[in-house]
Structure 1
Amino acid sequence: MYYEDLEPGTGRREPRAWLHSSAPVLSLNGEWRFKLSAGPAEAPADVMTPEFADDGWDELTVPGHWVLQGHDRPRYTNTAFPFPIDPPRTPAANPTGDHRHWFELPADWPDARTILRFEGVDSCFKVWLNGVELGTSKGSRLPSEFEVGAHLRPGRNLLVVRVHQWSSGSYLEDQDMWWLPGIFRDVTLRSRPADGIEDVFVHADFDHVTGAGTIKVDCVSTGPARVLVPELGLDLAPGESVTVPAVEPWSAEIPRLYDASVVTPGETVSLRIGFRTVTIVDDQLTVNGRPLFFRGVNRHEHDQYRGRAVSEETMRQDLVLMKQHNVNAVRTAHYPPHPAFLDLCDELGLWVIDECDIETHGFIYTDWVGNPVDDPAWAPMLLDRMRRTVERDKNHPSIVIWSLGNESHRGRVLGDLAAWTRERDPGRALFYERDRSYAFSDFYSLMYTPLDELERIGSRTEEVPEETADHPELEARRRALPFVLCEYAHAMGNGPGGLADYQRVFEKYPRLQGGFVWEWIDHGLLLPGATDHVYGGAFGEKVHGANFCLDGLLFPDRTPSPGLIEYKKVIEPVRISGAGSLTIENLRSFAPLDDLEFVWSEEVDGVEMRSGRLEVPAIEPGASAELPLPVEAAVPVEPAADGAGERWLTVRAVLAKDEPWAAAGHEVAWAQFPLPAHSAQPGELAEPARAADPAQPATAAVRRQPERSGDGLRLGGGEFDARTGQLTRLFGLPTDGPRLDLWRAPTDNDNGQGGRNATVTAWRAAGLDRLEHRVDQVEVTDHELTVRTRVAPDGLGHGVRTTYHWTANDDALSLTVAVVPDGPWNGSAITQPCENWPRLGVRMSLPSSLDTVRWFGGGPGEAYADSRAAARVTRHTRTVDGLQTPYVVPQENGSRIDVRWAELTDADGNGIRVEGAPYFQLTARRWTTEDLEQAKHRSDLTPHDRLYVNLDLAQNGLGSASCGPAATADHTLDVAAYTFGLTWRQFGGR
Structure 2
Amino acid sequence: MSKLRDWDNLEVLHRNRLDSRAYFTSYKDVDSALNLKNKNRKGLKLLNGMWKFHYSSTPEESPQNFYEKDFDSRDWDDIRVPGNWQLQGYGYPHYTDLIYPFPVDPPRVPSENPTGCYRRNFYVPEDWNGLQVILRFEGVDSGFHLWINGKEVGYSQGSRMPSEFDITPYINIGENLLAVRVYQWTDGSYLEDQDMWWLSGIFRDVSLIAREKVHVEDFFVKTQLDENYEDGILNIETKLANVDSIEYRDCKLRYILFDENLSKVGETAIDLDLSFQCEKTVSIDIPVNKPCKWSAESPYLYNLLMILEDLKGNILEVVPSKIGFRTVEVKDGNFLVNGVPIMLKGVNRHEIHTDLGRAVPFHSMEQDVILMKKHNINAVRTSHYPNHPRFYELCDKYGLYVIDEADLECHGFELMGDISQISKDPAWEKAYIDRIERMVERDKNHPSIIMWSLGNESGFGSNFKAMTNWCHDRDYTRLVHYEGDFDVEVADVVSTMYSSHEKMEEYGKKENMDKPHILCEYAHAMGNGPGGLKEYWDIFYKYKRLQGGFVWEWVDHGIRRYTEDGREYFAYGGDFGDEPNNSNFCCDGLLRPDRTPTPGLVQYKKIIEPVKVEEIDLSKGQVKVKNIYDFISLDHLNLAWNISGDGKVLQSGIFNMPRIEAHESKVVTIPFDFEKKYNLSTDLWLNIEFVLAVDTPWANKGHVVAWEQFKLSSEYKLPVLNIESIPNVDVKEDYKFIYVKGCNFNLIFNKLKGQICGWNYEGVDILKEGPKLNLWRAPIDNDMYMIKHWKEKGIHQVQHRIDNVEMNIDDKQAIVNIKTFISPPNGDWALECRYIYKIYGSGHVELSIKGNPKGKLPESFPKIGLQMKLPKYMSRVKWYGRGPGESYIDSKEANPFNIYNSTVDELYTPYVYPQDNGNRTDVKWVSFTDERGMGFSVIAEENLNFSAHYYTTEDIEKAKHLSDLNKRDFITLNIDYKHHGLGSNSCGPVPLPQHRLKAKEFRFNTRWEPYSRGDVDGI
Q: How would you bin the TM-score normalised by the shorter chain?
A: over 0.9
Residues 334-733 of structure 1 mapped to structure 2, 5 A cutoff: 334-368=384-418, 371-460=421-510, 479-527=513-561, 531-580=568-617, 581-614=622-655, 616-633=657-674, 635-639=676-680, 644-677=681-714, 691-692=717-718, 697-698=721-722, 702=726, 704-705=728-729, 707-708=731-732, 710=734, 711-714=737-740, 716=742, 717=745, 719-721=747-749, 723-724=751-752, 725-732=754-761, 733=765
Distance (Å, rounded) in 1 between the aligned partners of 2:925 and 2:545: 45
Counterpart contact for 2:237–2:283, Cα < 8 Å: yes
Q: Compute the displacement of 1:233 (Å).
A: 3.0
- Residue 780 of structure 1 corresponds to 807
Q: CA deviation at 1:699?
A: 6.2
Match of 1:19 in 2: 24
Match of 1:174, SS state, is coil
Q: Determine the structure 1 residue equivalent to 2:820.
A: 789
| Structure 2 residue 287 is the aligned partner of structure 1 residue 233 | no
CA change 1:331–1:138 in 2 (3 A) is same
Q: Alpha-carbon deviation of 1:482?
A: 0.3
Quote the Cα distance in structure 2 between the aligned partners of 1:74 and 1:181. Answer: 9
Q: Which residue of the partner structure matches residue 738 of structure 1?
A: 771
State how far apart, in whole Å, the 1-side matches of 2:93 and 2:778 are: 29
- Aligned counterpart, 1:224: 252
Q: State the alpha-carbon separation in 1 of the partners of residues 439 and 66 from structure 2.
A: 32
Distance 2:853 2:20 in 1: 70
- The amino acid that maps onto 2:362 is E
Q: Does 1:273 align with 2:323?
A: yes
| TM-score of the two chains, using structure 1 as the length reference | 0.93
After superposition, the C-alpha distances for 1:838-886 in whole angstroms (9 at most, x for unaligned) are 1111011111011221111111111111011111111112211111000
2:853 matched to 1:816? no
Tell whether the 8 Å contact from 1:897 to 1:920 is kept in structure 2 after alignment. Answer: yes
Residue 572 of structure 1 aligns with an amino acid whose one-letter code is E
| Equivalent pair of 1:691/1:916 in contact (CA under 8 Å) | no
Decide which of 938, 943, 957 is 1:914's aligned counterpart. Answer: 938
Which residue of structure 1 lines up, in the alignment, with residue 302 of structure 2? 258
Shift of 1:820: 2.5
Return the offset for 1:615. Answer: 5.3
**Does the Cα contact within 8 Å between 2:634 and 2:659 map onto a contact in 1?**
yes
Residue 220 (structure 2) aligns with: 201
Which region of structure 1 is more displaced relative to structure 2, 913-922 or 281-290?
913-922
Tell me if structure 1 keeps the 8 A contact 2:831–2:852: yes
Percent pairwise identity: 41
Query: Which residue type is aligned with residue 860 of structure 2?
Result: N
In 2: Cα distance, 1:813 partner to 1:767 partner:
35
Residues 95 and 573, structure 2, Cα contact 8 Å, conserved in 1? yes
CA shift, 1:205, in A, is 2.1
Give the aligned CA root-mean-square deviation in angstroms. Answer: 1.7
Cα distance in 1 for residues equivalent to 2:955 and 2:830: 24
Q: 1:852 aligns with which of 848, 853, 876?
A: 876
CA distance in 2, matches of 1:398, 1:791: 59
Unaligned runs of at least 5 residues, structure 2: 28-41, 242-250, 270-281, 310-315, 1015-1019
Whole-angstrom CA distance in 2 between matches of 1:369 and 1:209: 44
Could you tell me which amino acid in structure 2 is paired with residue 853 of structure 1? Answer: V
After superposition, what is the alpha-carbon deviation per residue over 1:907-952, rounded to whole angstroms, capped at 9, x for unaligned?
2222222211212111011010011110001011111110010000
Query: Which of 977, 983, 987 is 2:1007 aligned to?
Result: 983
Report the equivalent of 1:935.
959
Q: Which amino acid aligns with 2:647?
A: G
Paired residue secondary structure (1:103): strand
1:180 alignment partner, one of 168, 174, 199: 199
Q: CA deviation at 1:812?
A: 4.6
Q: Distance in 2 between matches of 1:912 and 1:972?
A: 31
Question: d(CA) in 2 for partners of 1:37 and 1:665?
Answer: 55
1:691/1:918 contact within 8 Å kept = no
Residue aligned with 1:654, SS: strand
Counterpart-to-counterpart distance in 2, 1:313 and 1:110: 35
Q: Would you say 1:94 and 2:126 are equivalent positions? A: no
Equivalent residue, structure 2, for 1:124: 143
Mapped contact 1:718–1:813 kept (Cα < 8 A) = no
Moved more, 788-797 or 265-274: 788-797
Give the Cα separation in 2 of the matches to 1:278 and 1:78: 33
Instruction: Provide closer, same or farther for how the CA distance between residues 245 and 804 of structure 1 changes in structure 2, counting only shifts above 3 A.
Output: same
Deviation, 1:985, is 1.8
Query: In 2, Cα distance between the equivalents of 1:571 and 1:618?
Result: 21
Mapped to 2, the partners of 1:349 and 1:65 lie a distance apart of 30
Is 1:318 aligned to residue 337 of structure 2? Answer: no
Counterpart residue type for residue 643 of structure 2:
E
d(CA) in 2 for partners of 1:665, 1:509: 33
Counterpart of 2:14 in structure 1 is 9
| Alpha-carbon distance change, 726 to 365 in structure 1, aligned in 2, over 3 angstroms | closer
The alpha carbon displacement at 1:698 in A equals 5.0
- The residue that corresponds to 1:469 in the other structure is none
Residue in 2 that maps onto 1:303: 353
Q: Which moved more, 1:419-428 or 1:103-112?
A: 103-112
Deviation at 1:224, TM superposition (A): 2.6
Could you give the per-residue CA deviations for residues 616-674 of structure 1, whole angstroms, max 9, x where no partner exists? 321000001112343325633121xxxx3211111000111111111111101011100
User: Contact between 1:494 and 1:887, CA under 8 Å: does it hold in 2?
Assistant: yes
Instruction: Give the secondary structure class of the aligned counterpart of 1:532.
Output: strand
CA distance in 2, matches of 1:810, 1:328: 59
In 2, Cα distance between equivalents of 1:699 and 1:715: 17
One-letter amino acid of the counterpart of residue 156, structure 2: S
The answer to whether the Cα contact below 8 Å between 1:691 and 1:919 also exists between their aligned partners in 2 is: no
**What is the alpha-carbon distance in structure 1 between the residues aligned to residue 194 and residue 824 of structure 2?**
43
The 1:395/1:913 distance shift into structure 2, 3 A limit, reads same
In 2, are the aligned partners of 1:576 and 1:584 still within 8 Å (CA)? yes
Cα distance change, pair 561–370 in 1 and its aligned pair in 2 (3 A) = closer
Helix, strand or coil at the partner of 1:426? coil
Structure 2 length as normaliser, TM-score? 0.91
| Residue 791 of structure 2, aligned match among 764, 769, 776 | 764
Q: How many Å apart are 1:150 and its aligned residue?
A: 1.7
Q: Is the Cα contact below 8 Å between 2:853 and 2:999 reproduced in 1?
A: no
Q: Deviations over 1:443-473 (max 9, x none)?
A: 1111000111100100117xxxxxxxxxxxx
Distance 2:201 2:361 in 1: 16
2:217 match: secondary structure: strand
SS of corresponding position for 1:410: coil
| C-alpha distance in 2 between matches for 1:369 and 1:586 | 44
State the 1:64 CA deviation.
0.3
Note the C-alpha offset of 1:759: 1.3
